[in-house]
């Protein structure tokens, strides 16, 4: 049996896992990222949690084939360099070179959304597809694109920023500097903002009572209110799904993948999200009469997608 190490480097936590050749996570370890601090210290901790995962798996480094790292920001997978990550404060960080001083194995680095997409491709909802797009609905909207079984990252390794395509040029300001980005409307953050606006407009909405009881407004508030028959809650959900469908239809029209999978906490809503989303997308895609249209599915691997995808980056490159 062959084993690989996958590292998911996040702004809050560093997670590492030992993954078997059958795409199963054998053991995991984690530690806090503790930003801000030097990149060299973070790399040392990545190696530390990776070695801890190997120990927990009851293995030795001799049984490990390769190491893969998924990171926020622009990752030059050809040179092994994190060119820029605003979340981590990295600039031209030679992460592969340094990682090899801790763990002397083949090492690869890739953008975290791309790594997660590759995880879904090799072992999750997009398994068996030739071309796939994965969209993660979280704090922002992350994107990963697989073309002919390979990660597509563009000529400058900054491709697949699906969240920063514009839905409404007169829409709210996005953190990237543009207005009306897909991310502004379709992220979990965007859904929370829509919910808050609707609550302010209609004080009688069940959403107001729900948020008081929970102590916050979440991405689930509008869906929960809709299930209770709240008209304002349903209006928020309908609006959110309309924007999400618009962005997904745009993506399908460009790439025409076999599968488009969506992940993130919002997707835990299941059919109340997926069924109307599919119906709306079907109205908007260009290939309405095609015998082979893109299948829209919910991602399967959850938080493990990044670890599994990172572990097999050697296959991707």
Tell me, yes or no, whether 28 and 100 share the same domain.
Answer: yes
C-alpha to C-alpha distance for 22 and 2, rounded to whole angstroms: 9
Residue whose pair of structure tokens reads 């859904």 in the numeric block:
191
Contacts of 251 (CB under 8 A, 6+ apart): 133, 135, 143, 162, 165, 260
Runs of H (alpha helix) within the chain = 39-56, 95-102, 112-123, 182-186, 188-201, 206-214, 221-227, 231-255, 271-284, 305-311, 313-316
pLDDT exceeds cutoff 90 at 32: yes
Tell me, yes or no, whether 72 and 118 share the same domain.
Answer: yes
Q: Residue 283: give the domain boundaries.
A: 128-299
**pLDDT recorded at residue 86:** 84
State the pLDDT confidence band at 250, using cuts at 50, 70 and 90: very high
**pLDDT recorded at residue 244:** 98
Tell me the CATH number at 107. 3.30.420.40
C-alpha to C-alpha distance for 81 and 315, rounded to whole angstroms: 18
pTM recorded for the entire structure = 0.91
In 3D space, the residue among 192, 106, 124, 117 whose CA is nearest the CA of residue 147 turns out to be: 117
Report the phi/psi class of residue 16: left, alpha or beta, with left for phi > 0 and alpha for psi in -120 to 50.
Answer: beta
User: Phi and psi at residue 273, in whole multiples of 5°?
Assistant: -95, -50
Tell me, yes or no, whether 30 and 106 share the same domain.
Answer: yes
Tell me, yes or no, whether 295 and 308 share the same domain.
Answer: no
pLDDT exceeds cutoff 80 at 317: no
Tell me, yes or no, whether 173 and 282 share the same domain.
Answer: yes
> Is the Cβ–Cβ distance between 178 and 172 less than 8 Å?
no
Q: What is the mean pLDDT of the chain?
A: 95
Query: Could you tell me the two tokens for 215?
Result: 């102590």
Query: Could you tell me the two tokens for 290?
Result: 């095609």
- pLDDT, one tens digit per residue, over 13-23 is 999 999 999 99
pLDDT exceeds cutoff 90 at 137: yes
C-alpha to C-alpha distance for 149 and 315, rounded to whole angstroms: 9
Tell me, yes or no, whether 59 and 118 share the same domain.
Answer: yes
Tell me, yes or no, whether 295 and 168 share the same domain.
Answer: yes
pLDDT exceeds cutoff 80 at 293: yes
- 152, with CB counted inside 10 A (0-12, 13-18, 19+), is middle
Tell me, yes or no, whether 144 and 105 share the same domain.
Answer: no
State the pLDDT confidence band at 275, using cuts at 50, 70 and 90: very high
Tell me, yes or no, whether 219 and 118 share the same domain.
Answer: no
Tell me, yes or no, whether 284 and 312 share the same domain.
Answer: no
Please give the tally of structural domains in the chain.
Answer: 2
Contacts of 142 (CB under 8 A, 6+ apart): 112, 113, 116, 135, 136, 162, 163
State the pLDDT confidence band at 316, using cuts at 50, 70 and 90: confident
Tell me, yes or no, whether 206 and 80 share the same domain.
Answer: no
**pLDDT recorded at residue 289:** 74
- pLDDT, one tens digit per residue, over 37-75 is 999 999 999 999 999 999 999 999 999 999 999 999 999
- pLDDT, one tens digit per residue, over 176-205 is 899 999 999 999 999 999 999 999 999 999
Tell me, yes or no, whether 182 and 117 share the same domain.
Answer: no
What percent of the chain has a predicted confidence (pLDDT) above 90? 92
pLDDT exceeds cutoff 90 at 290: no
**pLDDT recorded at residue 253:** 96
């Amino acid at each position: 049996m062959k084993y690989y190490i996958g590292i998911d480097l996040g702004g809050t936590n560093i997670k590492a896992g030992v993954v078997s050749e059958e795409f199963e996570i054998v053991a995991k370890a984690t530690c806090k990222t503790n930003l801000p601090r030097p990149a060299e210290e973070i790399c040392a901790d990545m190696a530390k949690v990776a070695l801890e995962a190997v120990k927990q798996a009851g293995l030795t480094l001799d049984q490990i084939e390769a190491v893969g790292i998924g990171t926020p920001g622009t990752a030059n997978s050809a040179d092994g360099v994190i060119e820029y990550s605003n979340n981590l404060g990295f600039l031209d960080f030679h992460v592969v070179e340094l990682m090899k001083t801790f763990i002397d194995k083949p090492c690869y680095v890739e953008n975290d959304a791309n790594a997660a997409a590759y995880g879904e491709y090799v072992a999750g909802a997009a398994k068996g597809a030739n071309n796939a797009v994965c969209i993660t609905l979280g704090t922002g909207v992350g994107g990963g694109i697989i073309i002919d079984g390979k990660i597509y990252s563009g000529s400058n390794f900054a491709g697949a920023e699906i969240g920063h395509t514009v839905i409404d040029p007169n829409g709210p300001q996005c953190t990237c500097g543009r207005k009306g980005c897909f991310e502004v409307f379709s992220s979990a953050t965007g859904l929370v903002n829509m919910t808050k606006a609707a609550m302010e407009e209609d004080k009688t909405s069940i959403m107001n009572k729900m948020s008081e009881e929970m102590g916050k407004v979440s991405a689930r508030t509008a869906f929960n209110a809709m299930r209770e028959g709240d008209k304002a809650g349903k209006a928020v959900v309908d609006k959110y799904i309309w924007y999400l469908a618009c962005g997904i239809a745009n993506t399908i029209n460009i790439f025409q993948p076999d599968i488009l999978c969506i992940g993130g906490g919002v997707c835990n809503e299941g059919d109340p999200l997926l069924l109307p989303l599919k119906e709306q997308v079907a109205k908007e895609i260009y290939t309405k009469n095609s015998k082979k249209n893109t299948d829209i599915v919910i991602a399967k691997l959850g938080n493990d997608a990044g670890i599994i995808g990172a572990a097999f980056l050697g296959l991707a490159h």
